[in-house]
């Protein structure tokens, strides 16, 4: 009989063991985990400790508990775009057959910092709209999206309700601005405590750090964006070409 009292350290160790089994592909997305007795033996903890560890992973979105069936690894659909095609997050998610969601974390009008003004090519302390949202698919968090818009070009967005909306579409409908090009950069990073909490991943888990500067159809800068994607939910695709000498 399982009568021990789980300690926080034991629960943490069991949680991380199961997480690593998932990340290494031992238990693939959509598959059922072994029964609690077998999994407890694998992780060398009691069943009561294991249950708490599994519940933590459920809260993080790693596992899904199905009544009468057991524990399953969450089936996460990868989103991604090709380097030659500029698409909004909402467009990408809709094409995958999911519903894009956006929870507003903060929305304020303020003066730009020196670095922000330089990036947006505006005068120092010019007014910007600072919008930070948690983007997801069917409510499952995928990325943290922070956009800085030039307020003089997008005053309609200063007080707009931007929950569950496409920023590209809102710019077009409310401001008459069509985003035509974006210069972007990608970098691997590790999730800090805030990012990990919002994306339901472990502190230090891999994330994709994405930054861009977007221009309209007239090549004028509209905004800059900074996003942190879950490392297990985003795939960047690109076609690469090698220049072949004409004489070959």
> Tokens representing 52?
């708490």
Tell me which residue has tokens 């991604």. Answer: 80
Ranking 24-33, 155-164, 217-226 by mean pLDDT, the lowest is 24-33
Which pLDDT value is given to residue 168? 93
> Tokens representing 39?
């999994």
Residue 45, number of CB atoms within 10 A of its CB: 24
Radius of gyration of the chain (CA): 22
Which pLDDT value is given to residue 80? 62
How far apart, in whole angstroms, are the C-alpha atoms of residue 232 and residue 99? 19
> Tokens representing 186?
């990608």
CB proximity list for 118: less than 8 A, separation 6 or greater:
none
Q: Give residue-wise pLDDT tens across range 53-111.
A: 998 888 777 888 888 788 988 766 556 665 556 778 888 888 777 788 999 999 999 99
Under the banding of pLDDT at 50, 70 and 90, the label for residue 231 is confident
Q: Give residue-wise pLDDT tens across range 156-195.
A: 999 999 998 999 999 999 999 999 999 999 999 999 999 9
- 210 with 186: CB under 8 angstroms? yes
Domains of the chain: 8-73 (1.10.10.10), 79-237 (3.40.1410.10)
Average confidence score pLDDT of the chain: 86
How far apart, in whole angstroms, are the C-alpha atoms of residue 177 and residue 22? 43
pTM across the whole model: 0.68
Which pLDDT value is given to residue 1? 38
Which pLDDT value is given to residue 82? 55
How far apart, in whole angstroms, are the C-alpha atoms of residue 153 and residue 178? 12
CA 68, 70, 28, 136 torsion: positive or negative?
Answer: positive
Mean pLDDT of 119-125: 94
How far apart, in whole angstroms, are the C-alpha atoms of residue 54 and residue 108? 38
Q: Is 25 left (phi over 0), alpha (psi -120 to 50) or beta?
A: left
């Amino acid at each position: 009989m399982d009568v021990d009292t789980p300690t926080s350290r034991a629960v943490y160790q069991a949680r991380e063991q199961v997480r690593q089994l998932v990340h290494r592909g031992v238990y693939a997305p959509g598959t059922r985990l072994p029964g609690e007795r077998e999994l407890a033996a694998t992780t060398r903890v009691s069943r009561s400790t294991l249950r708490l560890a599994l519940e933590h992973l459920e809260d993080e979105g790693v596992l899904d508990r199905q009544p009468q069936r057991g524990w399953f690894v969450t089936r996460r659909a990868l989103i991604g775009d090709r380097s030659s095609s500029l698409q909004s997050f909402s467009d990408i998610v809709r094409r995958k057959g999911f519903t894009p969601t956006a929870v507003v974390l903060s929305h304020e009008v303020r003066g730009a910092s020196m670095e922000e003004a330089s990036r947006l090519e505006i005068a120092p302390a010019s007014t910007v709209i600072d919008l930070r949202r948690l983007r997801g698919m069917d409510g499952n968090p995928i990325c943290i999206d922070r956009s800085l818009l030039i307020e003089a070009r997008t005053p309609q967005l200063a007080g707009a309700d931007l929950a569950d909306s496409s920023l590209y579409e809102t710019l077009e409908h409310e401001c008459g601005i069509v985003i035509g090009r974006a210069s972007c950069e990608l970098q691997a990073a590790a999730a800090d405590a805030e990012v990990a909490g919002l994306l339901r991943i472990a502190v230090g888990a891999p994330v994709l750090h994405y930054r861009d500067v977007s221009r309209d159809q007239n090549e004028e800068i509209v905004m800059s964006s900074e996003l942190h994607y879950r490392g297990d939910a985003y795939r960047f695709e690109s076609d690469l070409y090698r220049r072949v000498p004409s004489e070959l």
